[in-house]
Chain A
């Protein structure tokens, strides 16, 4: 025995009693078994749309996490270009973010790979009736809700009231009326060349062409999956699909700048804001662009839902989307802490504040936030209130996202990450193939992908 050490027997009979030693040992053991809940770090990812959005989310998440003892947040913005790669890596390493704010396509992607925890309980506790049903339906699968709707994205026709009035054109209620209006709004310049085009039909290969096409298809009642049975029906509805494709091409040829065959969002929005086009399908981002580039047209803008094929029937649906909050699979403690953070984040004023970080483009997906003073008192919301009410009441209640007509499906992510739909549409618009052949191409590839994904 070395100097300074002594056996327990000696201690028991001497200065340190056995009971005290046991107590000390227990105390030391307790120090090392402090419950992990006391020091939990939640990883939070958000897709980077604008700096203002990321700033608001980070502020709110940090504040909400601070309300729980020992919970902190590691916040990260993930650009869209890197999102799927990051998610794949996270899934493979079993390191899904605890919370993520992202688009519906990513919700479907991660849910299909079993990386999410259901948030049905949160929907119930927050009040199911408060959420717009269409936004809940899009993030549902197997009777569960997998993402909490936050920002509601919406697509409708934005048009110039002054140009409509000058041309004596009324708001169209059918495809034929829209085509006629678009033609009437075409205006040649002094040199005889077109100065204003009636309707921008953007067909950028990636994302934009499918968004334009499905807006038209949905208005006529076409879908990829049957919203009720979830059966693949795109190929069975060929007549509607071809009709929508042909209409899109006719509209392009009659009233859209020729270069719009490869336009993305920036180009058609610029064209609208600069007065080069009188109408376009749009998500509301033109308002902020007009504020920055051409404020004179702000009070000349208005909206209407993309019409259905005939005037006697309203459009069946629009192509919309949304940002959702997801809870990634993790330990029960972290899932519980994440859900508490979400409960805090869904205070109506906070939801409204997040929507206000990109007003008009983003509209709250909960009724309480939409009606909240924080949202309604925003300067741009006040200025565009009639338009927003129209969007909220006429466009947002009925919408789909390609592939998610019957709830979450991973095909949505593949449609967005690839160009096979855009290629078929562009080929038809260029006259290389017929509208029917383009639909066949899309149908063939969709069937192949759906079959692969269902294995």
Chain B
């Protein structure tokens, strides 16, 4: 069988990407699958094949339900907040008024500031004795004196979600803003001729035009949010009493705390499979709605 020069050139030019994917994606994934079926002695690298025992243990683990619930709450609330705030901010910054360029830059800041700085900033704001947010909540009698939201389970979860919304909304905002620039002005003019008000313009012109970007962003942000470890770990370390411990923290504790690399890999793989199933369903539903 002979390959054309064009086909060979194609293979040649794509080979760096193929090598990259094999080394940095395929190999780690396959190794994670291998690890999930083993019990590993981390020092000597000696392994013991245990089949699906790690997965069976996961299903019996008393942490499964609370951690899965926390992960769900964390993800859904973060996404709702980021998309709501991102869309609102995008609509605001799409107006062409003096100083808007500066405002856009400022609004992007949370996304470019290092997570450790954001975590320290939020911890400081929520400090029970010296934090501004805690002080205001205490003054409004919503918190006891010297109490911090980070010390109350439900409030701690709300706090890390709020921090994550603040951190992630600029990405949604800038994506929506770019999409808003692409909506033909004629559509708004036609709507106005038909007597549409601001809300009707938004509902019947703006939102439908943002549907495609929303589909892509939603799946991206879903994956990023579910697997986002840093901000929760740095603000609460999963506490108090495990109230903010989500799936990535669970993986970290098992792998780097108890050094159960096999069990940690099983947890990571379970999350990856779940995300793949959700993504596949999502894409199937999204393509069906696009065909209509």
Residues of A participating in the B interface, judged by any CB pair closer than 8 Å: 84-85, 88, 91-92, 113-115, 193-194, 197, 203-206, 257-262, 267, 270-271, 274, 276, 414, 417-419, 422-423, 426-427, 430, 432, 449
A-B contacts besides A205-B239, A261-B240, A430-B240, 5 pairs, CB < 8 Å = A84-B259, A257-B128, A262-B156, A419-B253, A426-B240
Which of A88, A197, A262, A417 contacts B43 (CB under 8 A)?
Answer: A88
21 contacts between A and B (CB under 8 A): A84-B256, A91-B44, A92-B44, A193-B145, A206-B237, A257-B128, A258-B151, A259-B129, A259-B147, A276-B129, A414-B257, A417-B257, A419-B238, A419-B242, A419-B253, A422-B239, A423-B242, A426-B239, A427-B241, A430-B153, A430-B241
Number of A-B contacts (CB under 8 A): 99
Which of A88, A259, A262 contacts B239 (CB under 8 A)?
Answer: A262
Which of B43, B147, B240, B258 contacts A115 (CB under 8 A)?
Answer: B43
Which of A262, A422, A432 contacts B151 (CB under 8 A)?
Answer: A262
What's the nearest-Cβ distance from chain B to residue A447, in Å?
14
Interface range on chain B (Cβ under 8 Å from partner): 20 to 34
Asked whether A419 lies within 8 Å of B240 as measured between CB atoms, the reply is no
Interface string of B101-140 (1 = CB under 8 A from A): 0000000000000000000000000011100001000000
Contact A92 to B43, CB < 8 A, known contacts A206-B237, A419-B239, A423-B242: yes
What's the nearest-Cβ distance from chain B to residue A64, in Å?
29
Asked whether A92 lies within 8 Å of B45 as measured between CB atoms, the reply is yes
Give the complex CA separation of A419 and B242 in angstroms: 9
B238 contacts which chain A residues (CB < 8 A)? 205, 419
What's the nearest-Cβ distance from chain A to residue B164, in Å?
18
A204 contacts which chain B residues (CB < 8 A)? 237, 239
Give the complex CA separation of A418 and B239 in angstroms: 12
Give the complex CA separation of A258 and B150 in angstroms: 11
- Answer whether residue B203 sits at the interface, using C-beta atoms and an 8 A cutoff: no
Asked whether B148 lies within 8 Å of A259 as measured between CB atoms, the reply is yes
Asked whether A259 lies within 8 Å of B45 as measured between CB atoms, the reply is no
Which chain B residues in 145-193 approach chain A with CB under 8 Å?
145-148, 150-151, 153, 156
Q: Kindly name the residue among B45, B239, B253 whose own CB sees the greatest number of chain A CB atoms within 10 A.
A: B239
Q: Kindly name the residue among B127, B128, B147, B236 whose own CB sees the greatest number of chain A CB atoms within 10 A.
A: B128
Asked whether B43 lies within 8 Å of A91 as measured between CB atoms, the reply is yes
Contact A262 to B240, CB < 8 A, known contacts A115-B43, A418-B253: yes
Asked whether A423 lies within 8 Å of B241 as measured between CB atoms, the reply is yes
Which of A114, A417, A430 contacts B256 (CB under 8 A)?
Answer: A417
- Answer whether residue B144 sits at the interface, using C-beta atoms and an 8 A cutoff: yes
B283 contacts which chain A residues (CB < 8 A)? none
B237 contacts which chain A residues (CB < 8 A)? 204-206, 419
B144 contacts which chain A residues (CB < 8 A)? 258
Asked whether A258 lies within 8 Å of B146 as measured between CB atoms, the reply is yes
A427 contacts which chain B residues (CB < 8 A)? 241-242
Contact A432 to B241, CB < 8 A, known contacts A84-B256, A85-B256: yes
Contact A259 to B151, CB < 8 A, known contacts A113-B43, A423-B241, A426-B239: yes
B45 contacts which chain A residues (CB < 8 A)? 92
Asked whether A205 lies within 8 Å of B240 as measured between CB atoms, the reply is yes
Give the complex CA separation of A276 and B128 in angstroms: 12
Asked whether A262 lies within 8 Å of B150 as measured between CB atoms, the reply is yes
Give the complex CA separation of A274 and B129 in angstroms: 11
What's the nearest-Cβ distance from chain B to residue A444, in Å?
10
Q: Kindly name the residue among A88, A206, A262 whose own CB sees the greatest number of chain B CB atoms within 10 A.
A: A262
